Structure 1
Amino acid sequence: MTLTHRLAAERLTLGYGDRVVISSLDLAVPPGEITVIVGANACGKSTLLRSMTRLLAPREGRVVLDGKAVHRLPAKELARTLGLLPQSPVAPEGITVSDLVGRGRHPHQGVFSRWNAEDDAAVAAALDATHTAELADRAVDELSGGQRQRVWIAMALAQQTDLLLLDEPTTFLDASHQVEVLDLLTDLNHARGTTIVMVLHDLNLAARYADHLIAVADGALHAAGAPREVLTETTVKAVFGLDSRVIEDPVSGRPLMLPIGRHHSGPPGGGPKATGPDPAHG
């Protein structure tokens, strides 16, 4: 059960070269819930997610899974518990959709084990869930950006981990497919208890789908808690430098951020968007 798995960062400092991106950050991921990380561009959201899956070694502190530092766990053991969909994954040239999704089953393959019916079922379920089954025999590099993104999500689902981390899973998707993917992840969370951690740019989608919302600013944890506690006009101003009004979403009952632009027609350049995909990365 995913409720037995605890993922946390302890006094975590991350960086590239001489640049420190995250400094002395403490963070606990609530098990069995959907956590969404938000923040301005280049604030360290993706860097934090990469470290939590041990793709980036910390300069100080550590990321722990069930009390053990993830950077000390065997790769295959970690991959059976924690899955990652990175920001800009690259598929091998010419690989088909079914073969790529099947790679999600690699952590479950032992030295002497062979592909079996359980693997077939996991791949088929992932393709069906992401509406990519009709693409199974096509080459990934022939697909549109939105189709490729759904295929990558299918691969992550096929891995069938108790914890799933996704960096901008709605990238390249139109509005309807964004909601479809986030509904799918919510269903996975409700049905299997999968702990999900996502980086999203759209504040209103983040507030609508998160059980636990984390706002990162200037390399530090600015706020964390229920969306109603975190998505406030004060936080939007502090984290994004944007004036806004936060009201109750009449559909979801969650907080809804309305940006106040210079001409009252939308957010100024560089601010968070109220709706729709944002191809920029953090």
Structure 2
Amino acid sequence: MTASHSLNIENLTLGYGDRTVIDALDLVVPAGKVTAIIGANACGKSTLLRSMSRLLAPRSGHVLLDGKAVHSIPAKQLARTLGLLPQSPIAPEGITVADLVGRGRHPHQGIFARWSKDDDAAVAAALDATETAALADRAVDELSGGQRQRVWIAMALAQQTDLLLLDEPTTFLDVSHQIEVLDLLTDLNRSRGTTIVMVLHDLNLAARYADHLVAVADGKLHAAGRPEDVLTEATVRIVFGMDNMVITDPSSGKPLMLPLGRHHVVEAEPTAS
């Protein structure tokens, strides 16, 4: 099992240039659980995840890992505890799958450390888990979008961190591979206790696989908690501006959102007396 770490956000404000994207947000990430961040496009989901991994400095407030601001923790030390799969990562030209996945082991190696059997085992396990072992000698830039995405996930798994942040990990994947990746992440959480935070667009997959849902709207935290408490008809209307129906998924027992169309609030005209 992995070590338990706290990841808390306090009064966090983030932005680019003159534009504020996240405004005074507070959040506690449950340790050892799977958290999914949901929200409409451009609401700040990916920006929030970038700040959690210290890729984006806050304008104000803090992201705290075990009580320490992530921006105060040395990069290599942080990378041994917290891993990140960003949105649309770019691989060096000509790099092979095995070499890219092997880069996930860098945080565990000292200045003069040599490649070890533990490194070999971690890379092999990551390749097997993502069904990319057969691609090990292929150049990453020759792969399909779905294959590349699974290779990037393999690199994140090879890093073997106690916390794992993933920005839209199911991008480029067909439905069957989306389920496989989310099953893989769930198994990682259940078997090792890895704390997982991921941005997902599909509300029903988020509700099905997450223990904890975080709904962001217009740069603010709208709701956070169990999927059945967060994925409600009212939340979907407010966060996504869409009329909907939420029922219980008979296979998972989790909430299942059925879209009914765009939602427009219309004030009723008073009736004549």
Q: CA deviation at 1:65?
A: 0.1
CA displacement 1:183-213 (0-9 Å, x = unmatched): 0000000000000000000000000000000
Given residue 23 of structure 2, which amino acid in structure 1 is its aligned partner?
A: S
> Within 1, Cα distance between the matches of 2:216 and 2:6?
21
Aligned equivalent of 2:87: 87
Contact 1:2 1:31 in 2 (8 A): no
Q: Find the counterpart in structure 1 of residue 271 from structure 2.
A: none
For residues 119-169 of structure 1, the C-alpha deviation after alignment (integer angstroms, 9 at most, x for no partner) is 000000000000000000000000000000000000000000000000000
AA at the equivalent of 1:164: L
Verify the 8 A CA contact 1:96 1:140 in the aligned structure 2.
yes
Q: Post-superposition shift, 1:250?
A: 1.1
Does the aligned pair in 2 maintain the 1:91–1:140 contact within 8 Å?
Answer: yes
Query: Aligned partners of 2:161 and 2:147: how far apart in 1?
Result: 23
Match of 1:97 in 2: 97
Number of the residue aligned with 2:148: 148
Q: Contact 2:245–2:257 at 8 Å: present in 1 too?
A: yes
What stretches of structure 1 of length at least 5 have no aligned partner? 268-282
1:2-81 to structure 2, matched below 5 A, reads: 2=2, 4-81=4-81
Query: Following TM superposition, by how much is the alpha carbon of 1:261 offset from its aligned partner in structure 2, in angstroms?
Result: 2.4
| Alignment partner, residue 112 of structure 1 | 112
Alignment length (residue pairs): 264
Provide the C-alpha distance between the structure 2 equivalents of 1:2 and 1:66, rounded to a whole number of angstroms.
14
Q: Deviation at 1:112?
A: 1.7
Structure 2 gap ranges (5+)? 264-273
* Native 8 Å contact 2:107 2:159 kept in 1: yes
Q: Where does residue 208 of structure 1 map in the other structure?
A: 208
**Per the alignment, in what secondary structure is the counterpart of residue 91 of structure 2?**
coil
Q: Secondary structure at the match of 2:41?
A: coil
CA distance in 1, matches of 2:2, 2:232: 30
CA distance in 2: counterparts of 1:52 and 1:214, whole angstroms: 14
Distance in 2 (CA, whole Å) between partners of 1:177 and 1:106 is: 28
Q: 1:3 and 1:212, CA in 2 relative to 1: closer, same or farther beyond 3 A?
A: farther
**Deviation of residue 247 (structure 1)?**
0.1
Q: What secondary structure, in the 3-state scheme, does the structure 2 residue paired with 1:13 have?
A: strand
Q: Distance in 1 between matches of 2:3 and 2:255?
A: 27
Large movers: runs of 4+ above 4 Å: none
